[in-house]
């Protein structure tokens, strides 16, 4: 199970998911070869999940302190939209 210390130079990606009607984000790293791997919490082995946008922003700033922006993806509100649910 990769954690951020194991992947070297990488970009963070945040994937929105619907959890019981609430928006949360799972965290992935995109490596230089453009493969993406999900990030896991080392002490629990659970996928890293951010439950509020402020947590996403804080997490991103912790890894990229000089960043001035971050994309916070959302799910489509359209009736025909494909939605990831857990």
Residue 83 above 80 pLDDT? Answer: no
- Give the pTM: 0.74
Per-residue pLDDT tens for 3-46?
Answer: 444 444 568 899 999 998 899 999 999 888 888 899 999 999 99
Could you tell me the two tokens for 85? 């649910």
**At residue 82, what are phi and psi to the nearest 5 degrees?**
-75, 125
> Please, are residues 85 and 18 in contact by the beta-carbon 8 Å criterion?
yes
């Amino acid at each position: 199970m990769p954690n951020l210390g194991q992947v070297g130079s990488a970009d963070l990606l945040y994937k929105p998911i619907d959890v019981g009607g609430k928006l949360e984000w799972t965290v992935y790293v995109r490596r230089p070869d453009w493969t993406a791997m999900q990030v896991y919490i080392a002490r629990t082995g659970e996928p890293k999940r951010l439950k509020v946008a402020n947590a996403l922003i804080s997490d991103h700033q912790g890894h990229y302190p000089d960043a001035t922006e971050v994309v916070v993806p959302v799910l489509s509100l359209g009736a025909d939209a494909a939605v990831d649910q857990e």
